[in-house]
A and B are shown apart, each in its own frame.
Chain A
Amino acid sequence: SAVISQKPSRDICQRGTSLTIQCQVDSQVTMMFWYRQQPGQSLTLIATANQGSEATYESGFVIDKFPISRPNLTFSTLTVSNMSPEDSSIYLCSAIPRTGETQYFGPGTRLLVL
């Protein structure tokens, strides 16, 4: 299994600003992902965080808006840039351990943009 932590757990931000969310896994993992869960909706995959290369974004998500870093096998960051109220959501990090195929999720970062 993998234990995933995220920082911050929640934040309130002003529109036009940016927020960087950190994701830390307690063991080396093969793959890391970032999801968004908007109010009343399901989880939507934003991107796959690739170690040592650019993230792979899903349709509707772009690097300029959601830059992602993954400097090593246990850590990733997601930045929500130039925020608007529509970015208010829960952002979740997930990872697949080297030893399996099951995806584990972090506790999420609850973001409110005013």
Chain B
Amino acid sequence: AQSVSQHNHHVILSEAASLELGCNYSYGGTVNLFWYVQYPGQHLQLLLKYFSGDPLVKGIKGFEAEFIKSKFSFNLRKPSVQWSDTAEYFCAVNAADRGSTLGRLYFGRGTQLTVWP
């Protein structure tokens, strides 16, 4: 089974600082990759996704992520964070080359981001 590692459990930044959250996965086949965000008191929302093509994907609210296949990584970035970005961020992986596992997401443990105004 796939596993997903998010190395930073809690990140604290000041507004306007740059953000990079790490995500690594273990699966040798073709993958679909996702970042989900959970704002305080809200449910999980999709931030961005990668299925194929350009490994640099852009999502909502100025977030982007880069898929580096050789490193099994899909790190999330934002050049300048805002207080409203305070949330928990989850990386998730789905095996794209196994029809029977379509849709089965494996999640990392999440990274709590706190942005100070």
Given contacts A41-B109, A42-B109, A43-B90, contact A102 B104 (CB under 8 A): no
Q: How far is the CB of A73 from chain B (nearest CB, A)?
A: 15
Size of the B side of the interface (Cβ < 8 Å), in residues, is 23
Q: Which residue of B lies closest to A32 (CB)?
A: B103
Q: How far is the CB of B83 from chain A (nearest CB, A)?
A: 23
Contact B104 A48 (CB under 8 A): yes
Question: A101: CB under 8 A from chain B?
Answer: yes
Contact B105 A45 (CB under 8 A): yes
Contact B49 A42 (CB under 8 A): no
Residues 29 to 60 of chain A near chain B (Cβ within 8 Å): 31, 33, 41-45, 48, 58-59
Most-contacted residue by chain B among A43, A44, A104 (CB, 10 A): A43
Question: A111: CB under 8 A from chain B?
Answer: no
Question: B46: CB under 8 A from chain A?
Answer: yes
Question: A92: CB under 8 A from chain B?
Answer: yes
Contact A42 B103 (CB under 8 A): no
Contact of B46 among A41, A59, A102, A107 (CB under 8 A): A102
Q: How far is the CB of B25 from chain A (nearest CB, A)?
A: 13
Contact B51 A101 (CB under 8 A): yes
Q: Which residue of A lies closest to B108 (CB)?
A: A42
Tell me the bound Cα distance from A107 to B39 in angstroms: 12
Contacts A/B (CB < 8 Å), 5 sampled: A42-B107, A58-B104, A101-B51, A101-B103, A105-B44
Given contact pairs A43-B107, A59-B1, A101-B51, a sample of 13 additional A-B residue pairs in the complex whose CB atoms are under 8 Å apart = A31-B103, A42-B4, A43-B92, A45-B106, A48-B104, A94-B105, A101-B32, A101-B103, A102-B46, A103-B34, A103-B105, A105-B36, A107-B43
